[in-house]
A and B are shown apart, each in its own frame.
Chain A
């Protein structure tokens, strides 16, 4: 019955300011979260959060994990500070630093995606936005540690998948992932951004669509009203799913992990 929600309604739910953001998921999933800052080259990008935390596996073992996320922020001040979740190259380079340490200390990496896209501005281009994203894809594809990605809100374009080279892609029911925003898509193809609702239908951007097209591995159901109205329930479901997936991935050898990750993307559009 929930299947009947129009795709564009889901886009709006994914963007809802009241929807829990990455920080809430991190706080619930990781104990002792220690946030790290900066790319050691230019600055600290508020749109990308990186850190280290402890995670409890289904067998009650505790394990240190690295975490990276894009974060839009809840309040207006926080949104401005986080640039509405649109990362600059410095944010992607912070992620690369976080990933390198995860590999060094053999920690799994959990990423959370919630971004309209990479920041499309002058400063970002001057510092190599395209190269920063490409380097994330390049590093994540060969990192010999388990990687789990959770799309919790909007997943917009290359700026989102820079955090999305993973062994498992989990999507919330009302999260979306697309090549471009529905508005941008409509304006490029039909020169009319107001046709976003129509675009959302043909783009196949909902979690259910992406599961059907085998891009997403799992969809986590959200109760009536979505994650905005029942944050504890949804966060709890994400925590349980991340734990159990991680438990499974830890049973694979590094070679198996890397081969399966390569094949996961290799078959898309083959």
Chain B
């Protein structure tokens, strides 16, 4: 049953968090980031210039979704879409509204999914990107809705669709609603595909659970970033429930390429050129 007081409280918390996040402009450039693979220290600004790829060991570290899109689109120009879609406490789950407000203030994001339109190498595209900084990129209803809207927009505008996947799967606090987003997004991708649309699934670290078992696995072309974890049951789940020890590199991009589940592993610095090339190869085709 919807409680008007908790609804109101949620809205107020949300606004408060949003205000705080805007006010907080940290001197980010001075911050140092340690590569979790080789322990090399990087100045944040230098790392950002290198698209968050470690200059020492080549590890592809976390890149904020927005920064990725700035590097991807022509002249860093894109239009953000569906900004009105915000997360909701669909089950009235204890503590979730507060948690959402904290996540908004901590991440500076309104949800884990960003949806934009713009041009890549002169070719128009609809693009969605999941940012794991918000609730670990889990697929709540707002994420499912944005992915679905992105597919529907791509279909109505006759544009290709690119989705940068990440995230640990379901949003526990949204329970069954979260689970059902797997069906909703897969059905939307199917409709888009039946209409002749090109969908490039771009898998980034880590992509698991319900995101792997829905849209991330349904691309006409599936690209993965080097070293990205891409699997259904995560390594910890497998080790805890089945007790199996997993070999080094299990479920990583290179493993998935070898097992036939991805088309190519593309280093981040080649992302833009690779996508522009694929869009070019699909232009002037059948329906789109």
> Taking beta carbons and an 8 Å cutoff, which residues of A are in contact with B?
118, 120-122, 124-131, 133-135, 137-138, 141-142, 157-158, 161-162, 164-165, 177-180, 185, 188-189, 202-205, 210, 213, 215, 261-262, 265-266, 268-270
Contacts and interface: CB of A to CB of B under 8 A. Distances in A.
B244 A121 contact: yes
A138 B188 CA distance: 9
A265 B145 CA distance: 11
Interface of B: 88, 90-91, 93-94, 140-142, 144-145, 148, 170, 172-184, 186-191, 194, 208-210, 212-218, 230-233, 237-238, 241-242, 244, 246, 250-251, 259-261
A138 B175 contact: no
A141 B91 contact: no
B95 to A, nearest CB: 10
A252 B244 CA distance: 48
Given A134-B212, A134-B214, A205-B176, A121 B190 contact: no
Contacts of A121: 233, 238, 242, 244
Given A125-B238, A141-B183, A204-B176, 9 more contacts: A125-B233, A134-B213, A157-B170, A161-B183, A179-B172, A202-B91, A203-B176, A213-B176, A265-B180
A158 B184 contact: no
At the interface, is chain A mostly helix, strand, loop or mixed?
Answer: helix
A268 B216 CA distance: 20
Contact of A130 (B181, B194, B217): B217
A189 B199 CA distance: 34
Nearest to A89: B232
A215 B182 CA distance: 14
Contacts of A164: 183
Contacts of A204: 91, 175-176
Contacts, number: 165
Contacts of A162: 213
B172 A210 contact: no
Nearest to A141: B187
At the interface, is chain B mostly helix, strand, loop or mixed?
Answer: helix
A138 B190 contact: yes
Contacts of B141: 268-270
Nearest to B140: A269
Nearest to A213: B176
Given A125-B250, A265-B180, A269-B177, A141 B190 contact: yes
A135 B186 CA distance: 9
A86 B233 CA distance: 13
Given A131-B261, A158-B179, A202 B93 contact: yes
9 contacts: A118-B233, A121-B242, A122-B238, A129-B232, A130-B217, A158-B210, A205-B176, A262-B191, A268-B180
B244 A269 contact: no
B187 A129 contact: no
Contacts of A202: 91, 93-94
B145 A203 contact: no
Contacts of B212: 130-131, 134
A46 to B, nearest CB: 17
A189 B171 CA distance: 10
Given A141-B187, A180-B172, A120 B217 contact: no
Contacts of B213: 118, 129-131, 133-134, 137, 158, 162
A45 to B, nearest CB: 15
